[in-house]
Every structure is written in C-alpha cells, then in structure tokens.
C-alpha cells in the first residue's frame, strides 16, 4: 500500500445503475450527516477527505480492553467494572464476535432492501443481560482534567455510532437493549512523574439510543448518490470552507 494519500480513486464508487449492494459504513453515514458535499465527492466521485493521523494510543487502549473483556467472555463471568457499576450482564460469547469487530473487512452487516446499501459497522464489544438482550458497548479514550461525559456537541457522532450498531443487530434478528454503554478511559495527568507508565480512570457511561433517524437518513443518502449534481456543503464544514477559499484565490491569479 502506498504511504501517500490517493486523491482520486476509481474503486468503491456508487453506481446508480448497479444491482450490487453498495457498502456503506457507519462512519460514512456520519460523514453524510456532517457534510453531504464531502460525502458525495467521496462515495460518488472518488475524492475523499485527506486522512487524519492514526490515534495509536487509543488503538492500544482498545486492544487491551478487548483482551481484558475476552477473558471474562471465555469464562462467562462479569468484569469487575460491571460489578462496580451494577450492570447485570456478561460479555456475549458468539462465533462471530471477531467478525463483528472487524470494521474494515466485515463488521455487523445488513442489506437495506429499500436502498440496496450494505450497511456495516465494527462494534467494540457486545454484552448480554439475563433477559437475553444484547448490549452494544463502545470503548473511548481521552485525557482531560474534567470528568468524562457525553455532553459536548461533537459527541453526537458517538451517540449516532451507538444507535447504528443497535439498529444493525436488530436487523440481524437479535433482541437489543435500548441502553448501551461507553467504556471511557481518561488518562491521568495529575501524577508527579510519567515513569514510563500512563494510568487511566475508567468510567462506564450509559446511553439510551434511538434509531428513529436511520431509515430516513438512508433514504436521503440514496437520493443524494442517485443524482448528478454535487450537493451543498454542510454547515461549518472546514474542508469545504478551505476548498472554497483556495478556489477563490486561484481564480484571482
């Protein structure tokens, strides 16, 4: 794989006349809601946003949490965090758990009949309660002085992420709890020294999801991709603002 950003690709583009289901990830649904113009340029015309830098520390936390919860998954026991927060559940043991976690090659999948989208999403974890309801779980990592929560405007993306995962499992005929959980790791910055070790406070934050917006959003995405016109930019899109400013300056030269 090239280490350079491919500014124009020819694969994985939406073709309005194709009968093949078009793969639509959870993150691309969020991109559409953020900026229809960036979404159309990406999925229809093959010009995606430049990639950001990988969050290697977050990835390490994610891997370690999965290993930790997998120990209890194999034993069918509650994790101590579940005990602390009074969550009556255990990690869900299922043959497809690794497939559901693989957002790039698999994930939880469902072909939406009205749009022919293959909707996908890679979940971090799944628990199950005594009522046999699946509980969607997402891991997050940060480092901030204040207590972690879900109150910031930009965290609407976290909530939509949870809701898409819940919707996908329901479409795969699972009974799913409306309440999911964010396992939120907050790096401690009040230690006297680093000493080659970063410690975290780990909190579990419940969130009651609602997927009422998903069907209408999928219809809007299908309509967006099916026309030849590039849509307007989303409110406050930094990428579109940058392209517009550069274009105006170039036209003056």
Instruction: Dump pLDDT digits (tens) for 190-210.
Output: 777 776 777 788 899 999 999
> Is residue 16 included in any domain, yes or no?
no
pLDDT in tens, 117-131: 999 999 999 999 999
For residue 33, pLDDT over 50 is answered with: yes
- Residue 110, Cβ neighbours under 10 Å: how many? 17
> Is residue 210 included in any domain, yes or no?
yes
> Is residue 170 included in any domain, yes or no?
yes
> Is residue 243 included in any domain, yes or no?
yes
Q: How confident is the model at residue 51 (pLDDT cuts 50, 70, 90)?
A: confident
Q: Greater confidence, 33 or 54?
A: 33
State the total domains in the chain. Answer: 1
Task: Give the domain extent around 106.
Answer: 22-247
How much is the pLDDT for 52? 76
How much is the pLDDT for 94? 97
* Average pLDDT of the residues in 41-54: 89
> Is residue 13 included in any domain, yes or no?
no
How much is the pLDDT for 199? 77
* Average pLDDT of the residues in 6-33: 93
pLDDT in tens, 177-191: 999 999 998 887 777
How much is the pLDDT for 226? 96
- Residue 204, Cβ neighbours under 10 Å: how many? 16
Gap between the Cα atoms of 244 and 241, Å rounded: 5
Structural tokens at position 237: 């899109």
Average pLDDT across the chain, whole number: 92
For residue 219, the cross-strand partners are none
* Average pLDDT of the residues in 73-88: 95
> Reduced to 3 states, what is the DSSP secondary structure of residue 134?
strand
CA distances from 69 to 77, 78, 124 (A): 9, 9, 11
CATH number reported for the structural domain that contains residue 191 in this entry:
3.90.320
| Burial category of 66 from C-beta neighbours within 10 Å (exposed 0-12, middle 13-18, buried 19 and up) | middle
How much is the pLDDT for 59? 85
Q: Greater confidence, 4 or 247?
A: 247
> Is residue 88 included in any domain, yes or no?
yes
> Is residue 41 included in any domain, yes or no?
yes
Q: How confident is the model at residue 3 (pLDDT cuts 50, 70, 90)?
A: low
Q: How confident is the model at residue 1 (pLDDT cuts 50, 70, 90)?
A: very low
> Is residue 15 included in any domain, yes or no?
no
Gap between the Cα atoms of 47 and 5, Å rounded: 11
| Burial category of 194 from C-beta neighbours within 10 Å (exposed 0-12, middle 13-18, buried 19 and up) | exposed
* Average pLDDT of the residues in 38-52: 93
């Amino acid at each position: 794989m090239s280490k350079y950003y491919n500014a124009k690709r020819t694969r994985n583009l939406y073709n309005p006349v194709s009968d093949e289901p078009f793969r639509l990830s959870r993150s691309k649904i969020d991109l559409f809601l953020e900026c229809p113009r960036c979404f159309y340029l990406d999925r229809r015309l093959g010009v995606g946003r430049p990639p950001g830098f990988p969050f290697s520390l977050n990835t390490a936390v994610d891997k370690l949490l999965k290993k930790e919860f997998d120990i209890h998954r194999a034993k069918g026991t509650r994790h101590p965090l579940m005990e602390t927060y009074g969550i009556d559940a255990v990690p869900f043991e299922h043959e497809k758990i690794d497939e559901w976690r693989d957002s790039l090659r698999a994930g939880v999948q469902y072909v939406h009949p009205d749009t022919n989208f293959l909707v996908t999403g890679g979940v971090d974890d799944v628990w199950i309660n005594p009522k046999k309801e699946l509980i969607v779980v997402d891991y997050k990592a940060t480092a901030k002085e204040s207590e972690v929560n879900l109150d910031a405007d930009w965290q609407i993306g976290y909530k939509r992420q949870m809701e898409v995962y819940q919707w996908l499992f329901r479409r795969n005929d699972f009974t799913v709890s409306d309440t999911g959980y964010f396992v939120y790791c907050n790096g401690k910055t009040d230690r006297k020294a680093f000493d080659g070790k970063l410690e975290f406070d780990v909190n579990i934050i419940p969130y009651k999801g609602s997927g009422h917006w998903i069907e209408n959003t999928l219809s809007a995405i299908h309509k967006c991709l099916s026309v030849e016109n590039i849509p307007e930019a989303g409110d406050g899109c930094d990428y579109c603002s940058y392209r517009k400013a550069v274009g105006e300056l170039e036209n003056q030269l």
